[in-house]
Structure 1
Amino acid sequence: MRQEPRRDSGPLTRHLRIRQDRGYTVLEFRGEIDIAAAAEMAPHLDRVTARESTRVVIDLLPVDFFDCSGLRLLYRARGRVLERGGQLQLVCAHPLTLRVLRVTGLSQLLPPLATLDAALGRPEATSGSL
């Protein structure tokens, strides 16, 4: 008998959980996203963003700390998704992380939404073009 794939894969690392929701693959970043966390997460993000026409939401709501390693992950994921004709949404409400996104200009390329429901409820929205 064939089993249905799990909709929630659970944590892949202590910093990343991947699940399916409303037609999107949700990548939930968790805890402190620094160089060590980014190294653990990168292969999983690359696997998800290698799919053609994928719809991805990166959820930063559970993030406590976010440095330039996290910015590199976001930028890389964005480029890979858009190159393959997909869509990428970003969810972020933490004031310091939002400030980093604004200062670096990444918020112009990947405008953050305040809630996961806002990202999942807007299937027609896409991030900025390459």
Structure 2
Amino acid sequence: MSDVSGASVRDAGARLARSYAVHGSTVVELSGDVDLATAEEIRSALDEATAPSGAQLVVIDLRHTTFFDCTGLALLVRAEERMASRAGRLRLVCAHAITLRLMEIADLTGLLRPVPTLEQALERAA
């Protein structure tokens, strides 16, 4: 949705992050724009999922995102570091060519190891 100027306006009822459990893992599904304007809400959801008392595997699903910038990369790296600090694992689902290219340019594909489907992320973790 956009306002008269063409700037993006988020529906007040829209959620940027939805978390749910799958086979003992936590999946955090992000949607919409992941940028400076949405970072705080997304950071909160990722912090909750990567808390020390959380699941040993957290999968971040980017399939429903419409925009992703360097702020999003910083959030992903932070989530990975939080999981590594407690010997947990983070998996990333992403098939968007532009987002994957951004990760590649930032030299983060080795750290984040994105896969295109949720099934692959869960299989890879098994």
The verdict on a shared fold, with TM-score over 0.5 as the criterion, is yes
| The one of 40, 65, 71 aligned to 1:63 | 65
- Looking at structure 2, the residues matched to 70 and 116 of structure 1 have their Cα atoms a distance apart, in angstroms, of 19
Q: TM-score, normalising length from structure 1?
A: 0.81
- Looking at structure 1, the residues matched to 110 and 125 of structure 2 have their Cα atoms a distance apart, in angstroms, of 19
**Structure 1 partner of 2:18:** 17
- Looking at structure 1, the residues matched to 104 and 92 of structure 2 have their Cα atoms a distance apart, in angstroms, of 13
- Looking at structure 2, the residues matched to 50 and 100 of structure 1 have their Cα atoms a distance apart, in angstroms, of 27
Question: Which blocks of at least 5 consecutive residues in structure 1 are unaligned?
Answer: 1-12, 125-130
Question: Which blocks of at least 5 consecutive residues in structure 2 are unaligned?
Answer: 1-13
Q: Give yes or no for the alignment of 1:32 onto 2:33.
A: yes
1:26 positional shift? 0.2
Q: TM-score, normalising length from structure 2?
A: 0.83
Q: What is the number of residues matched between the two proteins?
A: 113
Moved over 6 A (4+): none
1:120 positional shift? 1.0
- Looking at structure 1, the residues matched to 85 and 62 of structure 2 have their Cα atoms a distance apart, in angstroms, of 23
**Structure 1 partner of 2:77:** 75
- Looking at structure 2, the residues matched to 114 and 47 of structure 1 have their Cα atoms a distance apart, in angstroms, of 24
Matches within 5 A, 1:32-111: 32-51=33-52, 54-111=56-113
SS at match of 1:36: coil
SS at match of 1:30: strand
Structure 1 vs Structure 2: percent identity of aligned residues? 46
1:51 positional shift? 2.2
- Looking at structure 2, the residues matched to 38 and 75 of structure 1 have their Cα atoms a distance apart, in angstroms, of 13
Tell me how large the CA RMSD over aligned residues is.
1.6
